[in-house]
Amino acid sequence: MIEPAIEVSDLALAYRLMRNRPGTIAELAINALRRQVRYERLWALDGVSFSVAPGELLAVVGPNGAGKSTLLRVLARVLPPGRGRVIVRGHVSPIIELGAGFNTELTGLENAVLYGALLGHDPRWLQRHGDAIAAYAGLEGFMDVPIRAYSSGMIGRLAFAVATLGTPDVLLIDEVLAVGDEEFRTRSAARIDELIGGGTAVVLVTHGMEVARSRGDRVLWLDHGRPVALGEPDHVVDAYVRSVSDPAVVAR
Amino acid sequence: MVPGGVIPAPPPRVGVRPVYDSADTGSPVLGQLRELWELRRLLRIVVARDVIVRYKRSLLGVWWTLLNPLLTVAVMWAVLSGIFHARSLGVPYIVYLLSGVLLINFFQQGVIAAGWSMAGSSGVISKVHVPPALFALSAVLAAGVTLIVSVGLLLVMMLATGVGMQPSALLVPVPLLALAMLGTGCGLLLAAAAVRVHDVIDFTQVALQLLAFVTPTFYLLSSVSEPMRTAVQFNPLTQILLLFRGLLWGSGLPPWWTWAASAGSGAVALGLGTVVLARTWRASAAML
């Protein structure tokens, strides 16, 4: 049996929010005297368990604020879990909020080298293959331009090209298929298929029900940080779509 | 233009194939030091980014590196040169001033830039896993580029004003390294605190300005009366500055305690900063 690339058991994570958030130290002191400093725990994730095998695509669906992006951040080692255990085996390529880590003052090539190097690639190799990256992303002639002149689609292409270099063991994608034109969507889908064939485990957060249905090997449905269902794509997506038209289904 | 083509497969990524286990109880300090070492090639790129971004939209670009200390020193010299007499200093007052201003400027810039580095790079930090010390380290190194250029300027000025050069000037990297360690350590501490409360940066800014007055940048240590002189001597920056000047134009090598205080304060600050940032990082990550 092959070891799973991702193992998550009973994962929980709370953001601590301060009620009556004071603007100044004086207000904080007054609130403290009145015993009005209260923290509220917002459970962004609560009791989530699943595993993803190499070459498997797990689609994650759910309404806004369900904890989907938080989940990706935990898998990307950006946020430590509050409770439970997370094991991720191998090199991870996160594409979370496309290009949000890019610096708008730097050129396309400078950003590609920086982002690629952050993922652990050799900066000199990236520098040498700038032309190939540009051609792949359809950005020939734009690589020496600061990316503040780029459209969001162009930034998305560049980020995708760099994140999918080589064959990462784990690919985390947050709505990448939503940006970009039809051509980019088709090609990025083909590239993801290629990576899956090469053994990459993919976690894909999406609001596209058709995407979840057709691309997912399994689908995880999150709501308010809790797993509502995990399993067969058609089964889970149908249940989720039904719940949206009839909210009573989720209110357990 | 039709996008397409195939990017050849890059060589394997750095480091051993990582296995992330959140239940791993290993030391966060050692873990982060190992990651920093694996990503050392990245450090150069991030430093270059910091330098490029800083000067990208300016006409004079990196020349500001030289202009900044020159203008500062010119104004201070114009105001203060009547008060201090060259014969007691051993070198022209402008050289004396520049040597002090360089070191203080580097320390102030490096520490403040390191403090902002986390907040400034939160876009990256909240999306890609990187050792948190990376950006603080690169902020100090970017300030170090300025320091090296301006030390070159100082050497030129020493030759031009006929101060000449002692053989001991070859040892000048020692105080500079001690200063870099001190600045990095304080920068890491500030960064660790600033992730939680931004106010500490404003506070530090004031503290650094006051610290500059407690360092003999524009006056002689011997011209300060007790008990203030003791306070000035206990400032680690003073010891590093005395070592720096002693090596450049002093007669004979500076006394051993100046060396010890410089190296010691640098090592302690660096160690403390590394440990505190690594140990507080897990709890801070969610606040970015």
Mean per-residue pLDDT of chain A: 85
Chain A contact for B8 (CB, 8 A cutoff): yes
Position B13 in a domain: no
The CATH number of the domain holding residue A15 is 3.40.50.300
Question: Among the listed ranges A174-178, B73-77, B140-144, B209-213, which one has the minimum average pLDDT value?
Answer: A174-178
Rounded Cα gap, residues B54 and A103, in angstroms: 12
Domain annotation covers residue B89: yes
Res A200 pLDDT > 50:
yes
Query: Could you tell me if A153 and A177 are in contact, meaning their C-beta atoms sit under 8 angstroms apart?
Result: no
Report the residue from A100, A114, A184 with minimal CB separation from B49: A114
Tell whether the model's pLDDT for residue A86 goes beyond 90: yes
* pLDDT above 50 (res B1): no
pLDDT at A252: 46
- In order of A76, B31, B149, the CA distances from B135 in angstroms are 18, 17, 22
Residues B207 and B61 sit within 8 Å (Cβ to Cβ): no
Query: What is the DSSP code string of B166-198?
Result: -GGGGGTHHHHHHHHHHHHHHHHHHHHHHTT-T
Per DSSP, the three-state class of A203 is strand
Q: What's the confidence (pLDDT) of residue B227?
A: 86
User: Of A90, A141, A183, which has the smallest distance from its Cβ to B17's Cβ?
Assistant: A90
Contacts A116 to B, Cβ<8 Å: 10
Residues constituting chain B: 288
Q: Is residue B1 part of a domain?
A: no
Give B16's pLDDT tier (boundaries 50, 70, 90): low
Q: Is residue B162 predicted with pLDDT exceeding 60?
A: yes
Going by their DSSP bridges, the two strands A92-95 and A83-89 should be labelled as unpaired
Q: What is the mean pLDDT of chain B?
A: 85
Is B9 inside a domain boundary? no
Mean pLDDT of all residues in B139-153: 90
B24-34: average pLDDT: 80
Decide: A225 and A64 in contact? Cβ < 8 Å: no
For residue B258, give its domain range.
33-285
Instruction: State pTM to two decimals.
Output: 0.84
Residue A247: pLDDT band (50, 70, 90) is low
Residue A39 lies inside a defined structural domain of this protein? yes
Question: Does residue B14 lie in a domain region?
Answer: no
Q: What pLDDT, on a 0 to 100 scale, did the predictor assign at position A179? A: 67
Q: Please indicate, yes or no, if residue B26 is contained in any of the structural domains.
A: no
Number of domains comprising chain A:
1
Q: Is residue B250 part of a domain?
A: yes
Count structural domains, chain B: 1
Beta bridge pairs of residue B40: none
Q: Which domain holds residue A107?
A: 6-251
Percentage with pLDDT > 70 across chain A:
85
Judged against a pLDDT cut of 50, whether residue A228 lies above it is answered with yes
Residue type, A249: V
- Give the pLDDT confidence score for residue A178 in this predicted structure: 64
Nearest-CB residue to A121 (from B10, B53, B57): B10
What pLDDT was estimated at residue A84? 92
pLDDT tier at B29 (50, 70, 90 boundaries)? confident
Q: Lay out the sheet containing A6-18: strands in order across.
A: A39-52, A6-18, A83-89, B19-21
> At a CB cut-off of 8 Å and minimum separation 6, what does B186 contact?
B107, B111, B114, B269, B273
Angstrom distance (rounded) from CA B207 to CA B230: 19
Distance in Å, alpha carbon of A180 to nearest chain B alpha carbon: 13
Residue A1 lies in a domain: no
State residue A37's pLDDT score: 59
Q: Which residues pair with A230 in a beta bridge?
A: A220
For residues A234 and B214, give the distance between their C-alpha atoms in angstroms, rounded to a whole number: 72
Q: Show Cβ contacts of residue B129 under 8 Å, excluding neighbours closer than 6 positions.
A: A76, A77, A78, A92, A94
Which SS3 state, helix, strand or coil, does residue A202 take?
A: strand
Window from A171-185, B67-81, B156-170 with minimum mean pLDDT? A171-185
Q: Is residue B22 part of a domain?
A: no
